[in-house]
């Protein structure tokens, strides 16, 4: 019943959507404070009056620059193919910025790739660095947006704070370096049919990780000659519990691997040990068990239910009629907290001579109109607007009748104040598969993973 290459295509589809509607961040203002230690004295009254006058001056409206509507062509460097670019991004933008036309520039997301484009004399205006914005930061190809956002009065009020924080965390100086209109999040998917088979009550909202583990134990075992597992992790989602703890795996400045020094990582590993200690919970030879109806629960990306179930809408609806969605469980000391979001900002090239038009495109990307349309297709919006979130997947039959709002039920965890580019050299997913099938204790696992990661980071530094 499942399609070939489900997980790889699913991840690619998710990342492609990240490119399509990009959004981002916010700015803050300061105002003077009226202070007076002795309000009954002439001196203090004069001081208060002076402060009040200054405050009034500061409160005067600031003239906002207006965008030009003169025809202009922007070059966009991205990794997702011209057909996809034209059929999605260009079509959506055509309605919002009809005076802007777009030229596709094929880019593989690497530093070498963009340098080849530059060497050929092509000056791109917008870039979608889905493999990491650090590639562009290292080449000084990121235009800070804080001042431009103020000058043009860009409204970022509908952007969820976690998206704003994530984009700022990717810059060493905490600047607003791009905008994004969507992201990737996790959900807890469950199959009532399996719970009924084991005579176990269905999972509920607001569960803790320990409560999830208890259900996983009760729904792991053999029935009718088939091996069932209580919990399965989808592709690259074993970090779900870690993403709730707002931490990095490495030092962003030095690249030092911090696993053994960070109590949050040890806490996370203790949880994963509990999960993989359930007899029969994991067999590397038996993957995608939820898609085969032999897993009670799965943690996976928000679009998971669109990846399997049949060729026609009717077949898929019948296959998944007993499947639904719940929030990811929380840690007891940080209840009702979802894993941090994933997103990739679209950035403006500082060498572009069309920055104003590029910013106008970013404004269109974060508009309510664009986010609503994307959300209905099945893209996670960056806005915190509940009414828009309710429309997630409304135009996709695979989401009909499903509890899609469960994925938005809890507040997304904020990312660490500064992300580390060296984290990508810590292969947590690959290491966890080894951990799940070994008798390795936690200290030994951390030591080995630290050593392996340190070698990779050193090699990467030497190539810079």
Q: What is the mean pLDDT of residues 344-363?
A: 97
User: Which residue stretches of 1-110 are H helix?
Assistant: 6-20, 42-59, 82-84, 91-96
* In the block, residue with structure tokens 């590397």: 284
Q: Which residues contact 19 (CB under 8 A, 6 or more apart)?
A: 78, 79, 80, 89, 128, 130, 344, 346
Q: Which pLDDT score, from 0 to 100, does residue 212 have?
A: 98
CATH number of 10-26+66-183+344-394: 3.40.190.10
Q: Which pLDDT score, from 0 to 100, does residue 157 have?
A: 87
Sequence ranges of the domains in the chain: 10-26+66-183+344-394, 186-340+415-462
Report how far residue 46's alpha carbon sits from residue 156's, in angstroms, rounded to the nearest whole number: 38
Q: Which pLDDT score, from 0 to 100, does residue 441 have?
A: 96
Q: What percent of the chain has pLDDT over 70?
A: 87
User: Which residue stretches of 60-121 are H helix?
Assistant: 82-84, 91-96, 111-119
Q: What is the mean pLDDT of residues 211-235?
A: 97
| Model pTM score | 0.85
Q: β-pairing, 323-326 with 297-301?
A: unpaired
The answer to whether domain 10-26+66-183+344-394 and domain 186-340+415-462 are alike in fold is: yes
pLDDT single digits (tens) 170-211? 999 999 999 999 999 999 999 999 999 999 999 999 999 999
Q: Which pLDDT score, from 0 to 100, does residue 60 have?
A: 56
Q: Which pLDDT score, from 0 to 100, does residue 69 have?
A: 93
Report how far residue 350's alpha carbon sits from residue 171's, in angstroms, rounded to the nearest whole number: 15
Residue 261 confidence (pLDDT) above 60: yes
Residue 20 confidence (pLDDT) above 50: no
Report how far residue 346's alpha carbon sits from residue 127's, in angstroms, rounded to the nearest whole number: 6
- Class of domain 186-340+415-462 as given by CATH: alpha beta
């Amino acid at each position: 019943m499942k399609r070939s290459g489900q997980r790889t295509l699913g991840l690619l589809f998710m990342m492609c959507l990240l490119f399509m509607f990009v959004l981002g961040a916010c700015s803050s203002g300061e105002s003077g404070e009226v202070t007076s230690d002795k309000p009954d004295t002439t001196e203090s009254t004069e001081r208060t009056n002076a402060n009040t006058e200054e405050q009034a001056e500061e409160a005067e409206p600031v003239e906002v620059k207006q965008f030009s509507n003169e025809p202009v062509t922007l070059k966009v460097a991205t990794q997702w193919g011209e057909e996809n670019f034209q059929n999605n991004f260009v079509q959506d933008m055509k309605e919002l910025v009809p005076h802007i036309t777009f030229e596709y520039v094929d880019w593989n997301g690497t530093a070498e790739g963009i340098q080849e484009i530059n060497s050929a004399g092509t000056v791109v205006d917008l870039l979608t660095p889905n493999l990491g914005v650090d590639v562009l930061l290292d080449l000084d190809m990121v235009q800070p947006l804080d001042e431009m956002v103020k000058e043009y009065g860009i409204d970022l009020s509908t952007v969820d704070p976690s998206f704003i924080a994530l984009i700022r965390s990717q810059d060493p100086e905490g600047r607003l370096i791009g905008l994004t209109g969507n992201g990737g999040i996790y959900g807890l998917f469950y199959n009532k049919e399996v719970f009924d088979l084991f005579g176990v009550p269905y999972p509920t909202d607001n569960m803790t990780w320990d409560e999830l583990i208890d259900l996983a134990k009760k729904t792991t075992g053999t029935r009718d000659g088939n091996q069932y597992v209580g919990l399965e992790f989808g592709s690259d989602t074993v970090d779900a519990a870690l993403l709730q703890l707002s931490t990095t795996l490495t030092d962003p400045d030095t690249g030092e691997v911090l696993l053994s020094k960070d109590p949050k990582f040890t806490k996370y590993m203790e949880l994963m040990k509990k999960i993989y200690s359930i007899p029969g919970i994991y067999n590397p030879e038996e993957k995608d068990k939820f898609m085969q109806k032999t897993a009670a629960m799965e943690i996976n990306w928000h679009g998971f239910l669109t990846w399997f179930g049949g060729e026609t809408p009717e077949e898929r609806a019948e296959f998944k009629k007993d499947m639904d969605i719940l929030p990811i469980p929380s840690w007891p000391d940080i209840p009702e907290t979802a894993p941090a979001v994933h997103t990739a900002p679209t950035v403006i090239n500082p060498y572009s001579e069309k920055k104003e038009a590029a910013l106008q495109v970013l404004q269109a990307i974060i508009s309510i109109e664009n986010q609503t349309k994307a959300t209905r297709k099945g893209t996670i919006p960056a806005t915190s607007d509940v009414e828009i979130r309710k429309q997630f997947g409304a135009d996709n039959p695979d989401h009909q009748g499903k509890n899609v709002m469960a994925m938005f039920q809890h507040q997304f965890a904020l990312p660490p104040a500064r992300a580390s580019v060296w984290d990508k050299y810590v292969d947590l997913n690959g290491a966890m598969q080894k951990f799940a099938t070994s008798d390795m204790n936690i200290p030994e696992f951390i030591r080995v993973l630290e050593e392996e990661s340190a070698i990779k980071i050193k090699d990467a530094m030497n190539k810079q």
